[in-house]
Amino acid sequence: MAAKKPQSLGQQILHEELSCSICLELFTRPKLLPCGHTFCQDCLQVYFAESQEVKCPNCQLQVSLPPGGVTGLPENHSAAKFCEKLSKTDANADKQAKPRNKCSQHPSEDYQLYCTQCDVPVCYVCLEETHDGHSMTSLKNATKERKPVVQTLLKEGKEILGTYHDALKDMREKEKRLIEQKKQTEKDIIEAYERTLKEFERTANRLRLRVQEKHDENTEARQRQMETVQREVDELAAACDQAEQEMAQGGVTFLVREDRLTEVIEKHRGAPLPPPLRTQVIAFHPKNFDNMPEPLGDIVVGATAAVSKDRDDHQGNQGQGQRVERLTFRGQGSDEGSETT
Residue 96 has pLDDT above 60, yes or no: no
Alpha helices in the chain (DSSP H): 9-17, 41-50, 77-95, 124-129, 139-248, 253-268, 311-316
Q: What are the sequence ranges of the domains in the chain?
A: 1-96, 286-341
Q: Which residue has the higher pLDDT, 327 or 233?
A: 233
User: In whole angstroms, what is the distance from residue 130 CA to residue 23 CA?
Assistant: 53
The least confident of 239-243, 248-252, 260-264 is 248-252
Average pLDDT value for the chain: 76
Q: What is the pLDDT of residue 312?
A: 46
Residue 30 has pLDDT above 50, yes or no: yes
Q: State in Å, rounded, how far the first CA of the chain is from the last one.
A: 52
With 0-12 CB in 10 A as exposed, 13-18 as middle and 19+ as buried, what is 114? Answer: buried
Q: pLDDT digits over 134-149, tens only?
A: 888 888 888 888 788 8
Q: What is the pTM of this model?
A: 0.43
Q: What is the pLDDT of residue 66?
A: 84
Query: pLDDT tier at 60 (50, 70, 90 boundaries)?
Result: confident
Query: pLDDT tier at 117 (50, 70, 90 boundaries)?
Result: confident
Cβ contact 131:122 at 8 Å: yes
Q: What is the pLDDT of residue 284?
A: 78
Q: Which CATH architecture has domain 1-96?
A: 2-Layer Sandwich (3.30)
Residue 311 has pLDDT above 70, yes or no: no
User: In whole angstroms, what is the distance from residue 56 CA to residue 22 CA?
Assistant: 11
- CB proximity list for 27: less than 8 A, separation 6 or greater: 1, 18, 19, 20, 38, 39, 40, 76, 79, 80, 83
Percent of the chain with pLDDT over 70: 74
